[in-house]
Amino acid sequence: MAQKRIAIVTGASSGIGKRIAIVTGASSGIGKRIAEGIPARYDPDELWVIARSGDKLRALKEELPVPVRALPYDLTKQESLSAIAALLAEEQPDVRILVNAGGYGKFERFEAIAEEDTAGMLDLNCRALTLLMRAVLPYCSAGSIIVNIASVAAFQPVPYGAEYAATKAYVLALSRAVGRELRSKKVRVLAVCPYWTKTDFFGRANKEGVITHFDCMYDPAFIARKTFAAMKKKRDYVVPGFVAKATHALTKLLPHSFVMRVFLAQQKLK
Ligand SMILES: NC(=O)c1ccc[n+]([C@@H]2O[C@H](COP(=O)([O-])OP(=O)(O)OC[C@H]3O[C@@H](n4cnc5c(N)ncnc54)[C@H](OP(=O)(O)O)[C@@H]3O)[C@@H](O)[C@H]2O)c1
């Protein structure tokens, strides 16, 4: 244990502990693509990957050229967050990157969503993301970056995705404000706002088939590439892709009552 703490770390501003990157939601979709892209770009001493599916996380150990620590935690559970905080305290790592990509949505009428999911979306998308940001900050230093996956849903109210969109509005606002607070410490917070992206997200979010119209579907690898590009710039949020940017621009220009009407018409919903 002591040996770990006196490891010589090049380029680490804190000078102690292993340089690590942490990715939640690393078992699939956008988080998995980001986890896969980190070793070549940042060469951390260790990559910590978090999701519930331990088998998928362990598969990343075989796949990636850096030591991978698989942490199969359900982030809606307080004991998972406490275990991660305890691990950070034990290892005293130099956290260079935290990517909060764990998240889910439900596209259904608000009152039809099961109570477990109503609480679950808040717990994962907001509570876990916030507490993980807070947990890693003592181990971050100049040049560290926190990347939070929000959504274009953060920019507008979304009927039949009301709570999900509201959680993403929270993620965007939190990321930008905390990033501003951390500017003097040279620790960045980047919010990524993807449009529809082809992942397992929809198996859970759209089980009832409420959403029927997808004008565009991005590849998670594209979202990951745009995330890495934005991590190098001084942006506090990024909207990857032309259709996503156009939608974002319209939600800034048009009254949200009109934006919601258009969305409902596209989805053939009332
Ligand atoms: N796909 C889209 O159209 C889209 C658009 C905008 C934003 N986003 C956002 O992008 C992020 C990644 O989603 P995705 O599209 O890549 O979907 P995904 O493939 O379903 O990935 C979601 C990830 O979250 C993990 N996760 C779910 N519940 C969890 C829990 N209770 N505890 C810990 N981990 C949990 C999943 O792993 P396990 O199941 O193994 O736990 C998985 O790794 C989410 O925040 C989502 O809201 C997605």
Decide if pLDDT at 7 tops 60: no
8-12, 87-91, 103-107, 198-202: least confident range = 8-12
Q: How confident is the model at residue 119 (pLDDT cuts 50, 70, 90)?
A: very high
Residue 151's identity, in one-letter code, is S
**Cα 225 to middle of ligand 1, angstroms:** 17
Angle at 244 between CA 239 and CA 247, to 5 degrees: 115
**Cα 184 to middle of ligand 1, angstroms:** 31
Decide if pLDDT at 14 tops 70: no
**Nearest-CA residue for atom 2 of ligand 1:** 197
Domains for the chain: give ranges and CATH numbers. 2-266 (3.40.50.720)
Decide if pLDDT at 13 tops 70: no
Average pLDDT score, the chain: 94
Candidates 22, 77, 104: which one to mutate for ligand 1, based on the most atoms within 8 Å of Cβ? 104
What are the pLDDT digits (tens) for 75-112? 999 999 999 999 999 999 999 999 999 999 999 999 99
What's the mean pLDDT in 18-44?
98
What's the mean pLDDT in 249-257?
98
**Nearest-CA residue for atom 1 of ligand 1:** 197
Q: How confident is the model at residue 214 (pLDDT cuts 50, 70, 90)?
A: very high
**Nearest-CA residue for atom 30 of ligand 1:** 74
Q: What is the pLDDT of residue 10?
A: 34
Decide if pLDDT at 1 tops 90: no
Q: What is the pLDDT of residue 138?
A: 98
**Nearest-CA residue for atom 12 of ligand 1:** 101
**Cα 164 to middle of ligand 1, angstroms:** 12
What's the mean pLDDT in 128-153?
98
**Cα 126 to middle of ligand 1, angstroms:** 13
Candidates 22, 23, 28: which one to mutate for ligand 1, based on the most atoms within 8 Å of Cβ? 28
Q: What is the pLDDT of residue 133?
A: 98
Q: How confident is the model at residue 230 (pLDDT cuts 50, 70, 90)?
A: very high
- For residue 153, which atom of ligand 1 is closest to its CA? 6
Q: What is the CA radius of gyration of the chain?
A: 19
**Cα 103 to middle of ligand 1, angstroms:** 4
Q: What is the pLDDT of residue 165?
A: 98
Q: How confident is the model at residue 4 (pLDDT cuts 50, 70, 90)?
A: very low
Q: Which residues line ligand 1 (CB under 6 A)?
A: 25, 27-31, 51-53, 74-76, 101-105, 124, 149, 151, 194, 196-197, 199-201, 220
